[in-house]
Structure 1
């Protein structure tokens, strides 16, 4: 299978590198391009067998599965450009959450999929969220599940939970990175611990936490219960979190959903009804 990636910015590059590291396909089966071609050439520098093309049309023409990894408002223009070379046996995969598979199917006649990746895929871990178009051929569902399994945990979702699922899977690493940095800053401010030491300790703690969950030694609930001994120090810290966090996460999801609705209105103007 020839895989094309149109757009090698942050997520496009992460996807390309995960595909290579996961050995999903050989480097010579990966065809990429970017509006600023030097970004695509940076990926080629990792492996000379990767094929770089100057245009989206060239990538789509030579690929079986075509990943569109550009900004949401640029997707429609890319679809228009590559439409003449999209034969019915190809599959178009958009990584953009505001664009539905129904909208993609109104523009192209081949199989379509929405696949929302996460930065965690770069470590060959984490989830990738999949929504298949109604006309998506069964062969593509199987092939893409097999492809994504090499570097992630593919999970099929319904359209109505796209935003919240994306918040958890795709935005979640940024949210929890921010919380961890605040955790570290507070430790440095309130004690004599050097920042470098606090960063090292917190990073290793998160890695260990991930391993405990991955190996299913504990669930989130049982892990807290194991660490939080009745009357102990951890319990006092939990009380502070319970008292002061309030509805911060409820407000977080409310804010992301408001922004998502704004994005949907802009995107909907581009696509045929």
Structure 2
């Protein structure tokens, strides 16, 4: 089984790296395309066995799974370029372009074909985050015209790269805010704590080591105990203690409401 990533830039390259570390694809089964020689060189440096080309048609024709990882405004252009060589009976189309809907993708794929298209394409919308490069992405998957077997294969692929959740298309924008933009929000929290740690007397590297491992520990607690955050917070907020004072001060400054407003603005 071969997979082609059309537009192996930041997110496309991260997907390729994650796939190469998994068990489903060998690096030699992963075809990557970019427009520039410089970008191809970067992908080559990630893994020497990637199959690299500037020819999107060549890559699309050779793949069982085709990943469209270009910018949203380039999706129609790329689809028009490759659709004469696509075989809807055998191939699955996966789009990671934010905001490009199933209806749009279906129209792009089937409009103005030279033959009477009786087969509807199998399309997936997939929204990973950049942690897919290190196999820790929270990835959302939606499907159209896909069999249970095809859907399970996509979930298997992306579960190997972290955690994959099958959702309705209507939740894709919300998922993007929570998990894709959410990487940046988590990084901003970490940066803020580093700055606070420096103000409290630690060197920046020390403060970063502290907060990264603290956040990691918090996540591991939730995963291991299958509890909610409030339960774990209660364990460390003793009456009159310093933790509850810090939490209350953060809430007075609008911590929770700021996070919620940021998520809504990103949707």
Q: Is residue 101 from structure 1 mapped to residue 111 from structure 2 by the alignment?
A: no
Contact 2:2 2:31 in 1 (8 A): yes
Structure 2 runs not aligned, ≥5 long: 110-119
**Cα distance in 1, alignment partners of residues 141 and 9 from structure 2:** 21
**Cα distance in 2, alignment partners of residues 248 and 215 from structure 1:** 28
Normalization by structure 1: what TM-score? 0.87
Counterpart of 1:164 (choices 174, 179, 188) is: 174
Counterpart of 1:115 (choices 126, 142, 157) is: 126
Counterpart of 2:162 (choices 149, 152, 175) is: 152
**Cα distance in 1, alignment partners of residues 226 and 107 from structure 2:** 46
1:193 paired residue number: 202
Deviation string, structure 1 residues 117-139 (Cα, Å, up to 9, x no partner): 11222222232101101x22333
**Cα distance in 2, alignment partners of residues 219 and 43 from structure 1:** 40
1:265 paired residue number: none
1:254-265 paired onto structure 2 within 5 Å:
254-257=264-267
Normalization by structure 2: what TM-score? 0.89
24-33 or 203-212, which deviates more:
203-212
**Cα distance in 1, alignment partners of residues 178 and 202 from structure 2:** 31
Contact 2:155 2:166 in 1 (8 A): no
Contact 1:101 1:131 in 2 (8 A): no
Q: Is residue 176 from structure 1 mapped to residue 186 from structure 2 by the alignment?
A: yes
Q: Secondary structure at the match of 2:47?
A: coil
Q: Secondary structure at the match of 1:155?
A: strand
Count of aligned positions: 255
**Cα distance in 2, alignment partners of residues 125 and 196 from structure 1:** 23
CA RMSD of aligned residues (A): 1.7
Q: Is residue 11 from structure 1 mapped to residue 31 from structure 2 by the alignment?
A: no
Q: Is residue 74 from structure 1 mapped to residue 70 from structure 2 by the alignment?
A: no
- Structure 1 residue 72 displacement after superposition: 0.7
**Cα distance in 2, alignment partners of residues 64 and 124 from structure 1:** 22
- Structure 1 residue 217 displacement after superposition: 6.0
**Cα distance in 1, alignment partners of residues 241 and 17 from structure 2:** 45
- Structure 1 residue 30 displacement after superposition: 0.7
Structure 1 runs not aligned, ≥5 long: 258-273
**Cα distance in 2, alignment partners of residues 41 and 23 from structure 1:** 24
Contact 1:131 1:158 in 2 (8 A): yes
1:130 paired residue number: 141
Contact 1:41 1:52 in 2 (8 A): no
